[in-house]
Amino acid sequence: MASEDTERPHATAERFTLDDFRLRLDSPLFHRDPGGSATPVDRELPWERPAAERTAGVSVVAPQAAPAPPAQSTQPAAAVPERSPAPRLRTFAELVADTDAPAVADEPAASPTVTAAVAAVSSQTDVAADSEVLPDPILPTNDKSGADHPVPEVQAEALMVLRSEPTVAPPAIDPELIELAAQVSRSLATVESRSSDSVQAELDRLAFVPDSEAPAARVEIPPIVVAEPPPERLAEPQADSPDAREPATALLPEVSRTALPVARVAISADEVPSLSQHEMYMPKVAVQQRPRMSYSDFAAQLAPAKRRARHPLRKLFGTLVLLAMVGGGLFAAKYYFLDQRWDADVKPMAAEVETERGLQFDHAVAVSEVDGTEYAEKLVRATVGFAADDPQVVLSGWRALGLLNGTADLSTLGLAGIGDAPAFYDPGSETIYVVRDLPADLRRFALQRALTLALLDQEYDWGGRAADQSPAVQRGMRALFDADSLAVASALLDDTERANVLLQQSALYTVYPAAGSSSPFATAVASRSGLALRGYFDGASPAARDAVQRDAQVTDGAALDLRRLLAATPTTSVSKESQGMLFWYHVLAARVGNDTAWRAALAWQADTVSFVGDAKVCVTGLVQIDPAAHDFVFGVFSAWAAAAPAESSTQVGAPAAGQISVSACDPGELVASNDGRARLSLGGAPLRSEQFRQLTVAYPQLTQTQLACAVYGSDDVTIADERAVIDPVGGWTAPANHPPPDPNRGGCSG
């Protein structure tokens, strides 16, 4: 690279150019440690390329060539200094001033030039300090091996002068040269302002581009492009203007114009010049590596977040709402899926029963239709109260006391009462059993009777309260609630239906024939026990019915005697082995008359009965009676024992006042245990309850206790006083055959 030489006024120092004090672009732009590499890698910008490579693809306006000035320095070239490890970046003005093109002198060498003026100003500033030592200039190089180019004579000469005379004062400079240098600097600054910022930013960006592995070949740097300044930024003066001057570049000597190392390119002012578009200088995207996670870190991410504490009232309210929803769901599931649904033909009957009785079902009741023989056995087992799976022991004991004559099984006992009760309700299974293929009116009446019993069981739980009680209590509870059921079912019949039901009952006995019951007691308990209080419930109000049935636990003695039912304490304490009043009435009625047996039974208070033996069963019992009627009752028992067959070995005793002891054994199936006469199924109880109803209508001002006492008079009861389950159309006429009871009878007033 050639530079313009200038003479120095002193003989001890040679004149040197501005380029002697500037760093070269062909020196390394930066030096950085790549980090992990052991040896730093210098990236050098190769400016010593041919002009054709630097300007490839760009429209270039080449400057005019000028002849090179003659060399004036005769001193030998200085030794090449070592390369500085930390060069500084050069400005755009320095880039413009520095050139490797040959200089051509258009003017005499003695004339001062702009370069000399700038160099003088720079040298005057730089050499002012005595203690300041200038760094060695960095010579251009393109060789990776480290070979340096020769140093020009002018630069070497200037370097030797500066090193030998650092304190020599600079010579005087012509003011015109200073003014000319200032104008050139302003012009160059104007041109530089458009591109210096972008070029400097690009250089700064390249300074921080990460180094990849050391390239095997030279790094190719695209040429730096400088845009022409816009007209408004660098206006050219008019030719005819008094202040018109040549452009800034025209003022430069030919040596300066031809030494510009950068080609001018005609581009738009809006375009932003770019130093490099090569993919090598694009910023690398750092790959973010996810840190390895341990199981504890992973578990911590899955851990549920802590919930904010809720207000206690809100939590309570939410709990109540949840419980309500769960309860509603359970009720709906029970109502629509778990509960038994009504059969299509049974549902209207149940609705009629609810309306007549004034109660409502909690849930539907299952209805099962079975054949007559099967139905008869179920009826006796559920109503009579056989505790043992094999009832033969009980039946054998009945034969010893005269309650059973000959042979019998449960089916034959049930068939004798199938016409009176073709349907019944079993509280143990909460199921209604009905004979299959019943006539329509009879079926409707039988089902409404059984449905009422089921409705009362859901309302009062009479089946549950009597389940573990003695046979006397079980029969008394069924008689009490069956009387209410008969009253409801009879009230739902009109005269036509009533007549049809009576005819259909008679026809049913032709389908299931029965010559007569071998045990009237069992038949009465299974199908007719409700008739004992039928008259009372026919005239009782809902409040009166509720007062009698609410929490009731009565024996069959209260069902047969209204005086006990209407007493303040109707419940009688009995043992688990008590058989009840109806049982002893049928024992006496088997061998003595109905009226006599009935009067003796009214004195009953409690009893204990046991069945002993396997092959031949014997019965022992102790009956407690009203002491006032002891002599009368003991006489009746004695007459009963005398009429017993000898095979039974029947004995009667009176161990104490108000007590009668009985013992007897089974005479066998071939021996008649009774005389076979017809008996009142429930004694005089149906007649007395009907008389009571008539008195309540005639004397509503009297108390029920007084009226119940009045009906138990001295008139006899006969077989004509037997009452059917369904009264004829004109009503039951048996009470009319008896004198009306006297409500003011002695001992009953008050």
Q: Is the pLDDT of residue 447 over 70?
A: yes
List the structure tokens of 174: 């012509």
Residues 249/255/259/265 CA torsion (nearest 10 deg): 30
| Mean of pLDDT values over 114-133 | 42
For residue 383, the 8-state DSSP code is I
Percent of the chain clearing pLDDT 70 (strictly above): 57
Residue of 131 and 435 predicted with greater confidence: 435
Judged by average pLDDT, the poorest of 246-260, 375-389, 521-535, 624-638 is 246-260
Q: Is the pLDDT of residue 745 over 50?
A: yes
Q: Is the pLDDT of residue 375 over 80?
A: yes
Q: Is the pLDDT of residue 729 over 80?
A: yes
Query: What's the confidence (pLDDT) of residue 138?
Result: 39
Q: Is the pLDDT of residue 197 over 80?
A: no
Q: What is the pLDDT of residues 549-599, one digit of tens each?
A: 998 889 999 999 999 999 866 656 788 899 999 999 999 999 999 999 999
> Model-level pTM greater than 0.75?
no
User: Please, are residues 710 and 742 in contact by the beta-carbon 8 Å criterion?
Assistant: yes
Query: What's the confidence (pLDDT) of residue 83?
Result: 46
Judged by average pLDDT, the poorest of 120-129, 300-309, 733-742 is 120-129
Q: Is the pLDDT of residue 450 over 90?
A: yes
Three-class secondary structure of residue 534 per DSSP: helix
Q: How many CA atoms lie within 13 A of 704 on its CB side?
A: 18
Highest mean pLDDT among 22-31, 152-161, 538-547: 538-547
Residue of 289 and 51 predicted with greater confidence: 289
List the structure tokens of 91: 């400005």
Percent of the chain clearing pLDDT 90 (strictly above): 42
Q: Is the pLDDT of residue 420 over 70?
A: yes
Query: What's the confidence (pLDDT) of residue 60?
Result: 39
Q: What is the residue whose two structure tokens read 């200088």?
A: 281
DSSP lists the bridge partners of residue 425 as 432
List the structure tokens of 208: 């921080």
Q: What is the pLDDT of residues 612-625, one digit of tens each?
A: 887 789 999 999 99
Residue of 132 and 504 predicted with greater confidence: 504
Mean pLDDT computed over every residue of the chain: 74
Query: What's the confidence (pLDDT) of residue 630?
Result: 95
Q: What is the pLDDT of residues 322-374, one digit of tens each?
A: 888 888 887 777 666 656 689 899 999 999 999 999 999 999 999 999 999 99
Specify burial of residue 35 (Cβ count, 10 A radius: 0-12, 13-18, 19+): exposed
DSSP lists the bridge partners of residue 41 as 32
Q: What is the pLDDT of residues 476-498, one digit of tens each?
A: 999 999 999 999 999 999 999 99
Strands (E), 419-465: 423-426, 431-435
pLDDT band for 98, please (50, 70, 90 cuts): low
Query: What's the confidence (pLDDT) of residue 209?
Result: 60
User: Please, are residues 555 and 568 in contact by the beta-carbon 8 Å criterion?
Assistant: no
CA-closest candidate to residue 21, choices 135, 168, 150, 157: 135
Residue of 248 and 468 predicted with greater confidence: 468
Query: What's the confidence (pLDDT) of residue 187?
Result: 65
Strand order in the sheet with 651-656: 604-612, 618-625, 659-665, 651-656
Angle at 732 between CA 726 and CA 734, to 5 degrees: 130
Q: What is the pLDDT of residues 274-316, one digit of tens each?
A: 555 666 666 666 556 666 766 666 666 666 666 666 667 777 7
Specify burial of residue 64 (Cβ count, 10 A radius: 0-12, 13-18, 19+): exposed
Q: Is the pLDDT of residue 89 over 80?
A: no
d(CA 161, CA 155): 10
| Mean of pLDDT values over 169-183 | 66
Query: What's the confidence (pLDDT) of residue 125?
Result: 42
